[in-house]
Homo-oligomer: A and B are copies of this chain.
Amino acid sequence: MKVIVDAFGGDNAPLEILKGSVDAQNELGVDIVLCGKTQEIQKCAKENNIDISKMEIIDAPDVVEMNAPPTDIVKGGANSSMAIGLKALANGQGDAFVSAGSTGSLVMGATFFVKRIKGVRRAALATIMPSDTGAFILLDCGANTECTPEMLSSFALMGSTYMSKVLNVNNPRVGLANIGTEEIKGGELQQNAYQLIKSEGKVNFVGNIEARQVPLGDADVVVCDGFTGNILLKTYEGVAKLILTNIKNVFTKNIFTKLSALFVKGGIDSFKKKMDYTEFGGAPLMGISKPVIKAHGSSNAKAFKNAIRQAVNYSQQGVIATIAGNLPK
Contacts and interface: CB of A to CB of B under 8 A. Distances in A.
Interface of A: 67, 131-132, 142, 145-146, 177, 179, 182, 186-187, 210-216, 226-228, 230-247, 249-251, 253, 256-257, 259-264, 267-268, 271, 274-275
List the number of copies, as a whole number: 2
A247 B275 CA distance: 12
A192 to B, nearest CB: 13
A212 to B, nearest CB: 4
Contacts of A240: 239, 243
A235 B237 contact: no
Given A214-B235, A242-B132, A247-B247, A228 B228 contact: yes
Contacts of A234: 179, 210-212
Contacts of A241: 212, 215-216
B187 A215 contact: no
Given A131-B242, A215-B242, 10 more contacts: A214-B238, A216-B238, A239-B239, A239-B240, A240-B243, A246-B271, A250-B267, A257-B264, A259-B263, A260-B264
A137 B132 CA distance: 28
A243 B211 contact: no
A233 B249 CA distance: 25
Contact of A239 (B235, B250, B261, B264): B235
Contacts of A186: 145, 227
A235 B212 contact: yes
A238 B257 contact: no
B238 A264 contact: no
B226 A211 contact: no
Contacts of A267: 249-251, 253, 257
6 contacts: A132-B245, A211-B231, A212-B237, A243-B244, A250-B264, A259-B260
Contacts of A262: 260
A297 to B, nearest CB: 12
A271 to B, nearest CB: 5
A169 B232 CA distance: 27
B271 A179 contact: no
B227 A182 contact: no
A230 B181 CA distance: 13
Contacts of A244: 243
A247 to B, nearest CB: 6
A239 B263 contact: no
Contacts of A213: 238
Nearest to A247: B247
Contacts of A146: 187
Contacts of A246: 132, 271, 274
Contact of A215 (B145, B231, B239, B251): B239
B250 A235 contact: no
A72 to B, nearest CB: 14
